[in-house]
């Protein structure tokens, strides 16, 4: 066949649902390295208007839905900001009015019990009641507030993580609405107690605290909003979106009390603010329950429920049903996810999660726990009044908001987005955006935030000036970067179906900090205020030092490897990777290689397995194996007397290997990986144990790579079956490339009526090379064989120039892919001592060019199928995208 064979006559084929085949688009949901056109096309590229980028597959389950039913960063995350800001304003705005209301109600009840009320000086709720400024009333009020905090904090510490885990299985939206229902019931009881104090005793407020705690309180609302944000945001931008959520939190804490104070002064009634808060809860509940779309697709919900069911069954089977019940009722059970075990986990992952939890608990827990002590200290040391104290607290919160909504997005843009865009432009491919753990930018932002907290605490300890004290507070405000970063990074460590569960565990730590922290820090302050009032800041600074040191335990690019759902490996639907990618074989009928180097299947008659079961494990069609079984058994080599190989064997031709995956009934496999890179659309042939792909930057036309499906780094790691399959596929690729790039001088035999004879590998030459190890020039840690068709003069007179180029940048198959896959890892360079070609000499090919080349090879494979089998190829091999007869 002449060089540059055309396939214009081939029929266009629809997208296939089977990823390992001779067909074109291996899976609709696979986000393969592309030239970035989808990203440039914006919302219209995906057809649903969600504006997501093609490099993240987080919205694959929402394809085809209208934009208002599709969660995305540009719509629902920003839509969520306003209702969440209302939610936080209600939380922050009601704190002071409720404290004053409780004080007045306790005082009224105290004097009623003592029958000492002066008719000339009645107690008016929300007004200045000087008779309440006695130690007994203050003591009763403080004790009652402590009870309310313990009830709400304790119940929310138990309920919030359960709601987070539940949201993974049943969705975020309705549980977000539920989180506000408790606050709504709490405010209703508060209004009744304030409106009818003679009928409704103030102790009924404990019931309101119970309702609030049973729905998770503010803690559950916060973690569910963060889980929703995680669902709607690619990992590379998740920290910024989390920063927006935290900015809303600090906005509520900054402006809530201020707005509430002005509203009470304007309305002249303390009770009026509770009606406003009631309206805020109602608005948030209705908006979350009926307006925003669900961020967890039905498919993910069902998968999470099934996984949870199997996990419970496995635990009950392993430890016994009664012990499993005790463990599940343990209130601290949600924290187990911070120390995960089992497939996909590692010691580094566990250390990362624990270190991040420590950092987050210190940052947010310290902020909530020490807040009141900082206010008391400032009033004690500098004689600040309400105005000065409010100004200081509001200024700190405002600086946090500016940092999170202004500075943080800029840092992310110049630290992640812009470098990624530059690499994408230079290489012409788009990396897949997925959860890969923390990167170097995350760790440095976290350490800088913690260091600023330490400096601020040091300023609190040593300064005696109001201006320096104010400046120290502004320094601690930079710690807001740390809280958003830790929670975003935590979600990048776990699979998407565990985000709610792990954020629930973090929420539990927050709730416990709200209960235990104030008691601890207030106790320290009360014990040291007369001798060394700065002791509270020493204790707070020590917490941040612990968190700062813990941040150095965080390793980058460590994450929880997702397991393939068991249903995807159901009997009769085994994927072609089989157990080879997991490095084990689970069946007695294993693939072996005999002394004739033919890939064969051992059939044990004693197992009495049907031929279809055997072929499922080989990914061969049952019909083809059944029809040929008698002849294959009759022609199989007989075992020598006394030899251990007593079972008949089935030889499998080279093309049968190549077409086996195409005719399998195995389920969809999402992607093919070449080392750390997703290369699915570059793959044009897959065998049971190997695959072939076109090269992004070929040295000469036709330069392809053949790799094992299992990600082995070195050639010696391959099993005998994998080695045989790899090099059998290499031979097949030589036959394919010969038909495309070589011309047989004897083609046609001189008879005009006969078609030209396809060229054989002997009509030209090949360079077949394996760079085994980095010092040999290997730049992708995945075994790959270079198959390069050679013709006379293709590299000038120096035919050995190919080896120079393979050792240089033109042979650096991992360089360009690595450029776009990670912003922080060191770019691989060719090893060895041969000269290298400058990067400018390389030409980056577009996805269309690689697609055209792969299509040419598929057409040749279909032609070879017809010649070797003597029949028309099955519809699926021919490219119609159907599985008729399989």
The pLDDT assigned to 601 comes to 34
Do 186 and 211 form a contact (C-beta atoms < 8 A)?
yes
What pLDDT, in 10s, does the model give residues 396-448? 888 888 888 888 888 888 888 888 778 777 655 556 666 778 888 999 999 99
Most confident of 286-295, 321-330, 821-830, 874-883: 286-295
> At which residue do the structure tokens 């001798």 appear?
531
The pLDDT assigned to 450 comes to 93
Across 54-78, average pLDDT: 58
pLDDT at 725 exceeding the cut of 50: yes
pLDDT at 152 exceeding the cut of 70: yes
pLDDT at 705 exceeding the cut of 90: yes
Q: Give CA–CA dist 702/856, Å, rounded.
A: 11
What pLDDT, in 10s, does the model give residues 438-456? 888 999 999 999 999 999 9
Q: Is 786 known as a binding-site position?
A: yes
Query: Which class for 595: exposed (0-12), middle (13-18), buried (19 or more C-beta within 10 A)?
Result: exposed
Question: Of 83, 140, 77, which Cα lies nearest the Cα of 108?
Answer: 140
Question: Of 433, 426, 496, which Cα lies nearest the Cα of 54?
Answer: 433
What confidence tier does 355 reach under pLDDT thresholds 50, 70, 90? very high
What confidence tier does 61 reach under pLDDT thresholds 50, 70, 90? low
pLDDT at 133 exceeding the cut of 70: no
Q: Is 226 known as a binding-site position?
A: no
What confidence tier does 125 reach under pLDDT thresholds 50, 70, 90? low
The alpha carbons of the chain give a radius of gyration, in whole angstroms, of 34
Residues 6 or more apart whose Cβ sits within 8 Å of residue 751: none
Q: Is 46 known as a binding-site position?
A: no
Q: Are strands 794-797 and 673-674 parallel, antiparallel or unpaired?
A: unpaired
What pLDDT, in 10s, does the model give residues 774-790? 877 788 889 999 999 98
Q: Is 771 known as a binding-site position?
A: yes
Q: Is 138 known as a binding-site position?
A: no
Cα dihedral sign, 664-667-668-671 = negative
Do 810 and 699 form a contact (C-beta atoms < 8 A)?
yes
Which has the higher per-residue pLDDT, 649 or 709? 709
Do 856 and 5 form a contact (C-beta atoms < 8 A)?
yes
Question: b vs e for 634-644, b when ≥16 Cβ sit within 10 Å of the residue's Cβ?
Answer: eeeeeeeeeee
Query: Which class for 39: exposed (0-12), middle (13-18), buried (19 or more C-beta within 10 A)?
Result: middle
Return the active site residues: 784
3-state secondary structure of 593: strand
Do 505 and 357 form a contact (C-beta atoms < 8 A)?
yes
Do 277 and 90 form a contact (C-beta atoms < 8 A)?
yes
Q: Give CA–CA dist 575/19, Å, rounded.
A: 10
Q: Give CA–CA dist 838/600, Å, rounded.
A: 46
What pLDDT, in 10s, does the model give residues 290-302? 888 888 878 888 8
Q: Give CA–CA dist 227/229, Å, rounded.
A: 5
* Structural domains present in the chain: 67-299+328-553 (1.20.1250.20), 571-654 (no CATH)
What confidence tier does 243 reach under pLDDT thresholds 50, 70, 90? confident
Beta bridge partners of 686: 691
Question: Of 847, 797, 860, which Cα lies nearest the Cα of 820?
Answer: 847
Q: Give CA–CA dist 229/215, Å, rounded.
A: 20
């Amino acid at each position: 066949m002449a060089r540059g064979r055309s396939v214009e006559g081939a029929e266009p084929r629809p997208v296939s649902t089977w990823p390992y085949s001779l067909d074109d688009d291996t899976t609709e949901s696979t986000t393969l390295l592309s030239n970035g056109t989808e990203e440039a096309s914006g919302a219209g590229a995906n057809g649903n208007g969600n504006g997501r980028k093609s490099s993240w597959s987080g919205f694959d389950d929402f394809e085809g839905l209208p934009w208002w039913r599709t969660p995305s960063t540009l719509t629902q995350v920003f839509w969520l900001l306003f209702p969440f800001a209302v939610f936080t304003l209600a939380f922050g705005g009601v704190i002071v009015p409720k404290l004053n209301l409780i004080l007045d109600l306790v005082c009224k009840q105290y004097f009623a019990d003592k029958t000492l009320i002066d008719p000339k000086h009645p107690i008016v709720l929300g007004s200045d009641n000087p008779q309440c400024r006695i130690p007994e009333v203050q003591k009763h009020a403080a004790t009652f507030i402590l009870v309310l905090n313990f009830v709400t904090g304790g119940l929310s510490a138990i309920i919030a993580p359960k709601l987070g885990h539940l949201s993974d299985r049943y969705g975020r939206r309705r549980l977000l609405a539920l989180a506000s229902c408790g606050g709504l019931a709490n405010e209703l009881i508060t209004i009744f107690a304030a409106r009818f104090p003679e009928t409704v005793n103030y102790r009924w407020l404990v019931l309101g605290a119970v309702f609030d705690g049973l729905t998770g309180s503010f803690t559950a609302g916060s973690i569910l909003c963060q889980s929703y944000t995680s669902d709607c945001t690619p990992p590379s931008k998740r920290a910024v979106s989390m920063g927006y959520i935290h900015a809303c939190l600090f906005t509520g804490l900054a402006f809530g009390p201020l707005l509430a104070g002005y509203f009470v002064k304007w309305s002249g009634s303390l009770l009026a603010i509770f009606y406003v808060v009631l309206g805020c809860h109602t608005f948030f509940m209705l908006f979350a329950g009926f307006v925003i779309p669900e961020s967890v697709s039905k498919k993910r919900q069902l998968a999470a429920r099934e996984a949870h069911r199997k996990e419970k069954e496995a635990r009950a089977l392993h430890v016994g049903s009664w012990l499993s019940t005790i463990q599940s009722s343990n209130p601290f059970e949600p924290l187990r996810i911070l120390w995960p075990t089992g497939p996909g986990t590692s010691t580094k992952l566990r250390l990362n999660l624990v270190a991040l939890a420590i950092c987050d608990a210190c940052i947010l827990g310290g902020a909530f726990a020490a807040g009141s002590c900082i206010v008391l200290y400032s009033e004690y040391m500098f004689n600040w009044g309400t105005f000065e104290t409010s100004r200081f607290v509001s200024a700190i919160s405002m600086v946090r908001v500016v940092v999170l909504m202004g500075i943080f997005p800029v840092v992310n843009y110049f630290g992640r987005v812009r470098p990624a865009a530059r690499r994408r432009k230079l290489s012409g491919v788009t990396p897949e955006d997925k959860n890969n753990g923390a990167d170097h930018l995350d760790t440095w932002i976290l350490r800088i935030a913690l260091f600023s907290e330490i400096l601020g605490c040091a300023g609190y300890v040593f300064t005696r000036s109001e201006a320096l004290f104010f400046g120290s507070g502004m320094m601690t405000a930079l710690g807001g970067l740390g809280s958003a970063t830790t929670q975003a990074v935590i979600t990048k460590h776990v699979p998407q179906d565990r985000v709610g569960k792990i954020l629930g565990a973090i929420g539990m730590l927050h709730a416990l900090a709200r209960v235990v922290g104030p008691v601890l820090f207030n106790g320290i302050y009360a014990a040291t205020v007369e001798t060394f009032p700065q002791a509270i800041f020493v204790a707070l600074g020590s917490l941040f030092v612990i968190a700062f040191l813990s941040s150095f335990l965080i390793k980058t690019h460590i994450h929880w490897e997702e397991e393939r759902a068991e249903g995807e490996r159901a009997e009769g639907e085994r994927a072609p990777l089989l157990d080879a990618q997991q490095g084990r074989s689970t069946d007695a009928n294993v693939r072996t290689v005999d002394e004739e180097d033919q890939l064969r299947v051992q059939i044990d008659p004693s197992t009495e397995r049907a031929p279809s079961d055997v072929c499922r494990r080989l990914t061969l069609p049952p019909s083809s194996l059944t029809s040929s079984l008698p002849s294959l058994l009759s022609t199989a080599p007989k075992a020598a007397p006394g030899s251990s190989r007593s079972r008949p064997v089935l030889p499998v031709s080279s093309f049968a290997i190549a077409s086996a995956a195409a005719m399998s009934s195995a389920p969809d496999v999402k992607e093919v990986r070449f080392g750390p890179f997703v290369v699915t659309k570059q793959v044009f042939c897959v065998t049971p144990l190997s695959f072939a792909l076109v090269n992004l930057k070929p040295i000469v036309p036709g330069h392809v790579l053949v790799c094992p499906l299992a990600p082995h780094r070195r050639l010696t790691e391959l099993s005998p079956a994998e080695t045989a399959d790899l090099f059998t596929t290499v031979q097949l690729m030589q036959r394919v490339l010969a038909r495309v790039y070589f011309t047989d001088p004897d083609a046609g035999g001189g008879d005009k009526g006969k078609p030209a004879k396809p060229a054989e590998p002997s009509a030209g030459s090949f360079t077949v090379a394996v760079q085994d190890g980095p010092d040999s020039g290997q730049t992708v840690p995945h075994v790959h064989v270079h198959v390069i068709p050679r013709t006379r003069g293709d590299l000038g007179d120096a035919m050995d120039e190919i080896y120079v180029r393979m050792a240089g940048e033109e042979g650096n198959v991992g360089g360009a892919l690595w450029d776009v896959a990670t912003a922080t890892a060191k770019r691989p360079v060719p090893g060895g001592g041969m000269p290298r070609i400058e990067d400018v000499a390389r030409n980056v090919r577009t996805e269309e060019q690689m697609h055209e080349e792969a299509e040419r090879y598929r057409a040749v494979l279909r032609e070879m199928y017809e010649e070797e089998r003597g029949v028309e190829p099955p519809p699926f091999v021919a490219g119609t995208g159907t599985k008729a007869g399989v």
